[in-house]
């Protein structure tokens, strides 16, 4: 048992922190206000190798592991949760299923450019009538000659509109008790594919979230990902790891809010002393720090398990459950520490609080995490 990060992990943390503080943080509030995704930031992340952290060099990655990846998402989210989820969805939800289930050809064609950051990835599972009940999707894919023809729509797509490659799931056989679903790799230029409405959101406002539509969208047969009928399992296994990326995002948000609160509580004076000297504030900071650290440990453990080829689905769901709730609580307390100033856009804590909320919702609500964990405990 060793809780020290390796030299490689420390180096990645330092590199991402420098990048986050110097290049991402300064424009975070403005991008949030303008709901603006900054492609240049993504390109800089690519130059630093952040877009392909866990993938082997033969697929354009830097050959590191899932721990390094969650550290990167955490550090980015510490200053800007939007850029954190851009990287998380790109890596866990789009890169991972291609790495795990793709053919050699698919890996060279799709994983490599995603790892190198010349293309952005996204994942489409949710539909208007199929959220928590992911298996109830209605989008269909029918074989016609050498192509599948997709119809339907997917909503709440992180990286929607900025992505070049979408991993999507559609029903390929309705005849059984349960619809049989299959995964596909969709290029943004495939005929019949289009990007719909962009959501206006409470938080993570500089990460675009859109609808995507398929109207007789023709997809070459060779773009089927994994086996016919294995779509639901691929979607679920993808989320097993993806949830830990969201846990890392939540840890980063909580840490950002905690750091800002500690600094403010030491400087802000009332009744002739820094407010940190009051136990009412000091104890808040202690609870915020403790919950953040506990969430981080769960997140790192889940990443470590995945990196060591051990089962990680339950650990990942636990990390997301714990870290999402922590991010919400810590950011709410941060606004309280800042008082009236915390409620304004002069300080980042109101943004952190708005950003935290989604970590309790996406990649499976907290209620779904409890369902996943309890099923694993009792199966």
**DSSP output for 114-143:** HHHTSS-EEEE--BTTBSS-GGG---EEEE
* 127 scored as a contact of ligand CAA (CB under 6 A): no
> What is the smallest separation between the CB atom of 59 and ligand CAA, expressed in angstroms?
22
> What is the smallest separation between the CB atom of 368 and ligand CAA, expressed in angstroms?
4
Residue list 152-181, contact with ligand CAA (CB under 6 A): 156, 158
Distance CA 81, CA 142 (A): 38
Question: What residues contact residue 46 under an 8 Å CB cut-off, 6+ apart?
Answer: 116, 117, 118
Cα→Cα distances 288→165, 293, 357, Å: 38, 9, 16
Indicate if 227 belongs to the active site. no
First-to-last alpha carbon distance for the chain, in angstroms, is: 29
Half-sphere exposure for 84 (CA within 13 Å, toward CB)? 36
Which window, 140-148, 189-197, 293-301, 365-373, contacts ligand CAA (CB under 6 A)? 365-373
> What is the smallest separation between the CB atom of 37 and ligand CAA, expressed in angstroms?
14
Would you say 60 or 84 has its CB closer to ligand CAA? 84
Which window, 15-23, 220-228, 340-348, 368-376, contacts ligand CAA (CB under 6 A)? 368-376
Angle, nearest 10°, between helix axes 66-79 and 279-307? 150
Q: Binder to ligand CAA among 53, 70, 76, 125 (CB under 6 A)?
A: 125
Could you say which of 33, 40, 363, 367 is catalytic?
363
Number of residues lying near ligand CAA (CB under 6 A): 25
Closest CA to 362 of 37, 81, 70: 81
- Chain residues binding ligand CAA by CB under 6 A are 85, 89, 93, 123, 125-126, 132-135, 156, 158, 232-233, 236-237, 239-240, 313, 362-364, 368, 371-372
- Catalytic site positions: 363
């Amino acid at each position: 048992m060793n809780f020290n990060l390796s030299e490689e992990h420390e180096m990645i943390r330092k590199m991402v922190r420098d990048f986050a503080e110097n290049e991402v943080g300064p424009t975070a509030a403005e991008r949030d206000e303008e709901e603006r995704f900054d492609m240049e930031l993504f390109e800089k992340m690519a130059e630093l190798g952040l877009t392909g952290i866990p993938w082997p060099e033969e697929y354009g990655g830097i050959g590191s592991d899932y721990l390094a990846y969650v550290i990167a998402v955490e550090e980015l989210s510490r200053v800007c949760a939007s850029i954190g989820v851009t990287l998380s969805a790109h890596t866990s939800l789009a890169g991972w299923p291609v790495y795990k289930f793709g053919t050699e050809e698919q890996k060279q064609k799709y994983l490599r450019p995603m790892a190198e950051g010349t293309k952005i990835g996204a994942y489409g599972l949710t539909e208007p009538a199929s959220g928590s009940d992911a298996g109830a999707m209605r989008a269909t894919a029918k074989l016609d000659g050498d192509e599948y023809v997709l119809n339907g729509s997917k909503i709440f797509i992180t990286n929607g509109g900025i992505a070049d490659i979408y991993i999507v799931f559609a029903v390929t056989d309705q005849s059984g008790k349960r619809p049989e679903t299959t995964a596909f790799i969709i290029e943004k230029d495939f005929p019949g594919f289009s990007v719909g409405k962009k959501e206006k959101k409470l938080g993570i406002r500089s990460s675009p979230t859109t609808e995507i539509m398929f109207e007789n969208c023709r997809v070459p047969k060779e773009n089927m990902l994994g086996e016919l009928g294995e779509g639901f399992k691929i979607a679920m296994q993808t989320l097993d790891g993806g949830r830990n990326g969201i846990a890392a995002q939540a840890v980063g948000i909580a840490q950002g809010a905690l750091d800002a609160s500690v600094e403010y509580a030491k400087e802000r004076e009332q009744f002739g002393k820094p407010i940190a000297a009051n136990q009412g504030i000091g104890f808040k900071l202690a609870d915020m720090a403790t919950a953040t650290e506990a969430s981080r440990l769960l997140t790192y453990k889940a990443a470590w398990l995945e990196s060591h080829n051990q089962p990680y689905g339950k650990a990942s769901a636990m990390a997301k459950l714990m870290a999402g709730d922590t991010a919400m609580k810590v950011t709410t307390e941060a606004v309280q520490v800042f008082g009236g100033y915390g409620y304004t856009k002069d300080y980042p804590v109101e943004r952190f609080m708005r950003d935290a909320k989604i970590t309790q919702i996406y990649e499976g609500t907290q209620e779904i995490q409890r369902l996943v964990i309890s099923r694993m405990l009792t199966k």
